[in-house]
A and B are shown apart, each in its own frame.
Chain A
Amino acid sequence: MTDLLNILIFLPLAVGILLFLVPDKLRIWKGSAAFAVTLLVLFAAIRIYGAEEVIVPLIQQVQGSAFLTQFTHTLQEFTVLNMNALSKLILLFLAVLAPLIGLYSIYREKNADFPAHFYSWFLITLGCSAGTVLAENLLLFLFFWGVLGYTLYKLIAQNDEASSASAKKTLIIIGSSDALMIIGIGLIWNIAGTLNISELSIATTGGPAVMAFLLLAIGAFTKAGAFPFHTWILNFTEKAHGLSSAYMPASFDKLIGIYFLALLCSRIFELNQWLVFALLIIGVCTIIFAVMMALIQHNFKKLLGYHAVSQVGYMIVGISLGSPLGIAAGLFHMFNNAVYKGGLFLTAASVERRTGTSDIDKTGGLASKMPLTFIAAVVFALSISGIPPLNGFASKWMIYQGIVDFGQQSGIASQLWIIWLALAVFGSALTLASFIKYVSGIFLGRKKEIYEKIKEVGLLQWIPMMLLAVICIWFGAFATEYVIKELFMPVSGTFAFVGIWDSSLLLWLVVASIVVGFLIYWIGSLKNMRKVEPFIGGEKADETQGYPITGFYHTLRKSRYLAFFYARAEEKWFDIYDLFKGFVLWTNKGFSTIHTGVLTTYAFWIYGGLAIILLLLIL
Chain B
Amino acid sequence: MELIPALYIILPLLGAFLIPIVGHFVKGFQKTLSVLITLFLVVYSVWFYVVGYDAPAVTKVGGWEAVKGIPIAIYLVYDGLSAFILLTVNLIAFLSTFYAMGYIKRFTAENNFYALLCLMIAGMNGVVLSGDIFNIYVFLEIAVIASYALVAFGTEKRELEASFKYQVLGGIASLLILFAVGLLYWQTQTLNLADISAILQYEDQSTALIFTEVLLIVGFGLKAAMIPFHAWLPDAHSSAPSPISAMLSGVLIKAVGVYALIRLFFNIFTITYELTLVIIVLGTLSMVIGVLLAIGQWDLKRLLAYHSISQMGYVVIGVGIGMMIIFEDGNRTVAALSIAGGLFHLINHAVFKGLLFLDAGAIEYLAGTRNLKELGGLSRKMPVTSSTSLGASMAISGVPPFNGFFSKLLIIIAAVRAEFYLLAALAVFVNFVTLGSFMKFIRYAFFNLKESGVSLIKLRLPFSMKFSMITMVILCVLMSLMVFPFFREILLNPAVDVLMNTGEYASKIIGS
Whether chains A and B associate is yes
Interface residues of A (CB under 8 A from B): 70-71, 73-75, 77-78, 139, 142-143, 146-147, 149-150, 158-161, 163-165, 167-168, 171-172, 175-176, 178-180, 182-183, 185-187, 189-190, 580-581, 584-585, 587-589, 591-592, 595, 597, 599, 601-603, 605-606, 608-610, 613-614, 616-618
Q: In the complex, are the beta carbons of B211 and A150 less than 8 A apart?
A: no
| Cβ of B449 under 8 Å from chain A | yes
The verdict on A591 contacting B292 (CB below 8 Å), with A171-B435, A606-B218 known, is yes
Q: In the complex, are the beta carbons of A587 and B292 less than 8 A apart?
A: yes
Complex alpha-carbon distance, A567 and B288, angstroms:
35
In residues 386-423 of chain B, which contact A (Cβ within 8 Å)?
A: 394, 397-401, 405, 408-409, 412-413, 415-417, 419, 421
Among B165-173, B189-197, B467-475, the stretch in contact with A:
B165-173
| Cβ of B432 under 8 Å from chain A | yes
| Cβ of B60 under 8 Å from chain A | no
Q: In the complex, are the beta carbons of A605 and B229 less than 8 A apart?
A: yes
Complex alpha-carbon distance, A605 and B232, angstroms:
11
Q: Which residues of A contact B292 (CB under 8 A)?
A: 584, 587-588, 591
User: In terms of DSSP, what is the predominant structure of the interface of chain A?
Assistant: helix
Residue of A nearest to B222 (CB): A606
8 Å CB contact of B416 from A187, A597, A605: A187
Residue of B nearest to A171 (CB): B439
Q: In the complex, are the beta carbons of B394 and A139 less than 8 A apart?
A: no
Q: In the complex, are the beta carbons of A614 and B425 less than 8 A apart?
A: no
Nearest Cβ in chain B — how far from A68, in angstroms? 11
Among B63-71, B355-363, B440-448, the stretch in contact with A:
B440-448
Complex alpha-carbon distance, A16 and B222, angstroms:
46
Complex alpha-carbon distance, A147 and B399, angstroms:
7
Q: Which residues of B contact A601 (CB under 8 A)?
A: 231
Q: In the complex, are the beta carbons of A617 and B214 less than 8 A apart?
A: yes
8 Å CB contact of A617 from B278, B408, B431, B486: B278
8 Å CB contact of B435 from A74, A160, A167, A175: A175
Q: In the complex, are the beta carbons of A588 and B293 less than 8 A apart?
A: yes
Complex alpha-carbon distance, A136 and B449, angstroms:
43
Nearest Cβ in chain A — how far from B189, in angstroms? 23
23 examples of A-B residue contacts, CB within 8 angstroms = A71-B484, A73-B486, A74-B485, A74-B486, A142-B400, A158-B447, A165-B443, A171-B399, A171-B435, A172-B432, A175-B398, A176-B432, A179-B398, A179-B412, A180-B428, A186-B415, A190-B416, A588-B293, A595-B293, A603-B168, A606-B169, A613-B214, A617-B214
Nearest Cβ in chain B — how far from A210, in angstroms? 13
Residue of B nearest to A160 (CB): B450
Complex alpha-carbon distance, A172 and B210, angstroms:
44
Q: In the complex, are the beta carbons of B486 and A584 less than 8 A apart?
A: no
Complex alpha-carbon distance, A44 and B56, angstroms:
53
| Cβ of B207 under 8 Å from chain A | yes
Nearest Cβ in chain B — how far from A182, in angstroms? 5
Interface residues of B (CB under 8 A from A): 164-165, 168-169, 172-173, 176, 207, 210-211, 214-215, 217-218, 222, 228-229, 231-232, 234-235, 274-275, 278, 289, 292-293, 295-296, 379, 394, 397-401, 405, 408-409, 412-413, 415-417, 419, 421, 424-425, 428, 431-433, 435-436, 439-440, 442-443, 446-450, 484-486
Q: Which residues of A contact B207 (CB under 8 A)?
A: 618
Q: In the complex, are the beta carbons of B448 and A164 less than 8 A apart?
A: yes
Q: In the complex, are the beta carbons of A150 and B293 less than 8 A apart?
A: no
Q: In the complex, are the beta carbons of A591 and B428 less than 8 A apart?
A: no
Q: In the complex, are the beta carbons of B447 and A167 less than 8 A apart?
A: yes
Q: In the complex, are the beta carbons of B413 and A609 less than 8 A apart?
A: no
Q: In the complex, are the beta carbons of B439 and A168 less than 8 A apart?
A: yes
The verdict on A609 contacting B228 (CB below 8 Å), with A179-B432, A599-B165 known, is yes
Complex alpha-carbon distance, A158 and B450, angstroms:
9
Complex alpha-carbon distance, A147 and B421, angstroms:
26
| 6 closest A-B pairs by CB | A186-B416, A602-B231, A158-B447, A164-B447, A588-B296, A146-B400
Complex alpha-carbon distance, A157 and B361, angstroms:
26
Residue of B nearest to A581 (CB): B436
8 Å CB contact of A179 from B172, B222, B296, B431: B431
Complex alpha-carbon distance, A608 and B231, angstroms:
13
Residue of B nearest to A601 (CB): B231
The verdict on A182 contacting B218 (CB below 8 Å), with A146-B400, A160-B450, A187-B416 known, is no
Q: Which residues of B contact A147 (CB under 8 A)?
A: 400-401
Q: In the complex, are the beta carbons of B424 and A183 less than 8 A apart?
A: yes
Q: In the complex, are the beta carbons of A580 and B405 less than 8 A apart?
A: no
Nearest Cβ in chain B — how far from A80, in angstroms? 14
Q: Which residues of B contact A608 (CB under 8 A)?
A: 228
Complex alpha-carbon distance, A230 and B469, angstroms:
36
Q: In the complex, are the beta carbons of A580 and B432 less than 8 A apart?
A: yes
Residue of B nearest to A180 (CB): B428
Q: In the complex, are the beta carbons of A161 and B449 less than 8 A apart?
A: yes
Nearest Cβ in chain B — how far from A176, in angstroms? 4
Nearest Cβ in chain A — how far from B203, in angstroms? 17
Complex alpha-carbon distance, A185 and B414, angstroms:
11
The verdict on A71 contacting B413 (CB below 8 Å), with A147-B400, A179-B431, A605-B228 known, is no
Complex alpha-carbon distance, A230 and B6, angstroms:
58
Complex alpha-carbon distance, A368 and B399, angstroms:
47
Q: Which residues of A contact B401 (CB under 8 A)?
A: 143, 146-147
Nearest Cβ in chain A — how far from B400, in angstroms? 4
Q: Which residues of B contact A185 (CB under 8 A)?
A: 413
Residue of B nearest to A149 (CB): B399
Q: In the complex, are the beta carbons of B172 and A606 less than 8 A apart?
A: yes
Q: Which residues of A contact B215 (CB under 8 A)?
A: 610
Interface centre among B165, B228, B484 (most CB of A within 10 A): B228
Q: Which residues of A contact B424 (CB under 8 A)?
A: 183, 186
Nearest Cβ in chain B — how far from A237, in angstroms? 19
Interface centre among A182, A580, A581, A595 (most CB of B within 10 A): A182
Q: Which residues of A contact B446 (CB under 8 A)?
A: 158
8 Å CB contact of B431 from A78, A176, A581: A176
8 Å CB contact of A183 from B235, B379, B428, B433: B428
Q: Which residues of B contact A585 (CB under 8 A)?
A: 295-296
Nearest Cβ in chain B — how far from A156, in angstroms? 10
The verdict on A592 contacting B436 (CB below 8 Å), with A179-B431, A183-B416, A606-B169 known, is no
The verdict on A189 contacting B449 (CB below 8 Å), with A183-B424, A584-B436 known, is no
Q: In the complex, are the beta carbons of A182 and B412 less than 8 A apart?
A: yes
Residue of B nearest to A609 (CB): B228
Complex alpha-carbon distance, A608 and B295, angstroms:
26
Complex alpha-carbon distance, A74 and B412, angstroms:
23
Residue of A nearest to B383 (CB): A116
Complex alpha-carbon distance, A75 and B446, angstroms:
37
Complex alpha-carbon distance, A509 and B295, angstroms:
62
Q: In the complex, are the beta carbons of A150 and B436 less than 8 A apart?
A: no
Q: In the complex, are the beta carbons of B169 and A602 less than 8 A apart?
A: yes
